[in-house]
């Protein structure tokens, strides 16, 4: 239990953030709890994984996929429209400007496979290899999907910002 408690204190925010953006709703505390319960019950399996975070995100992702299937015909209690006012950290809340709202909306609008790759590779800080482990994909598929997702995001951001997306010089 001590190890799980340590993981919980260290990674519960990552797990919650991943679930929130994956499921596009903020009421995910019960799934966070379930993630850690399953992690505790299956600690033997963890030994095969590179890091606790990868292991936890794998469990969380599987739960989220199940939840998506199960809730397909149910109306979510909280939808993406109330995201910014939910429980961001104070630092985040302070800088949550219009541009961030647009980025958030565009990210949430991505199809699930693209969204989860982007989440894992960016906010979760997972490597290509770790992302492939979590999703059960090949590294090539992760790379290609991630690249396409960023391209899609860029196109959408250009459109949503009226073509005003900040152009920067290529290195």
Partner 1 sequence: MRLSAHEVEIMEKINHLPRFEITETSQEQILQNIAMSVGFPRAGKHGTPMIRRKLVIGLASLFVLLGTTVSVASANGMLSNIIGKFRPASHSGILTSIEFQGSQSNPFGSEVAGAFQSANSLAQLHMLFPSFPKITLPGWKIAPPLGGQRYSGNDEWVSISTSSGITVNAYHDLTRTMVIDGMSVTSPQVETTTIDGVEAKIFVYHAGTGGISYIVWKRGSWTIALNTLSTSRRELLTAAQTFDEQFKKGLN
Choices 44-52, 53-61, 117-125, 129-137 (CB under 8 A): range interacting with partner 1: 117-125
163 binds partner 1, rule: CB under 8 A: no
Give yes or no for residue 72 binding partner 1 (CB under 8 A): no
Count interface residues toward partner 1 (CB under 8 A): 64
Cβ proximity to partner 1, 45 vs 151, nearer residue:
151
- Report long-range pairs for 29-37 (Cβ below 8 Å, ≥24 apart): 31/60, 31/63, 31/64, 31/67, 32/60, 34/63, 35/59, 35/60, 35/63, 36/4, 36/7, 36/8, 36/12
Whole-number Å distance between alpha carbons of 14 and 108: 17
Minimum Å gap between C-beta 169 and partner 1 is: 7
DSSP 47: T
Tokens of 17: 């953030």
The residue ranges that bind partner 1 (CB under 8 A) are 1-2, 4-5, 8-9, 12-13, 16-17, 20-21, 26-30, 32-33, 36-37, 40-41, 67, 70-71, 74-78, 83-84, 86-89, 92-93, 95-96, 99-100, 103-104, 107, 118, 121-123, 143-144, 147, 150-151, 153-154, 157, 165-166, 168-171
């Amino acid at each position: 239990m001590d190890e799980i408690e340590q993981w919980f204190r260290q990674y519960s925010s990552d797990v919650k953030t991943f679930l929130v953006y994956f499921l596009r709703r903020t009421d995910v505390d019960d799934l966070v709890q379930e993630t850690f319960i399953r992690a505790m019950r299956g600690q033997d399996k963890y030994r095969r994984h590179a890091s606790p975070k990868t292991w936890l995100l794998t469990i969380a992702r599987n739960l989220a996929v199940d939840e998506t299937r199960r809730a397909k015909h149910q109306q979510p209690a909280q939808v993406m429209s109330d995201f910014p006012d939910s429980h961001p950290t104070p630092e985040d809340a302070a800088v949550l400007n219009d541009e961030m709202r647009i980025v958030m909306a565009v990210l949430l609008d991505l199809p699930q496979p693209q969204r989860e790759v982007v989440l894992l590779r960016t906010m979760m800080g997972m490597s290509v290899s770790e992302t492939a482990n979590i999703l059960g994909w090949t590294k090539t598929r992760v790379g290609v999907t991630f690249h396409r997702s960023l391209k899609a995001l860029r196109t959408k951001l250009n459109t949503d910002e009226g073509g005003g997306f900040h152009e920067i010089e290529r290195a």
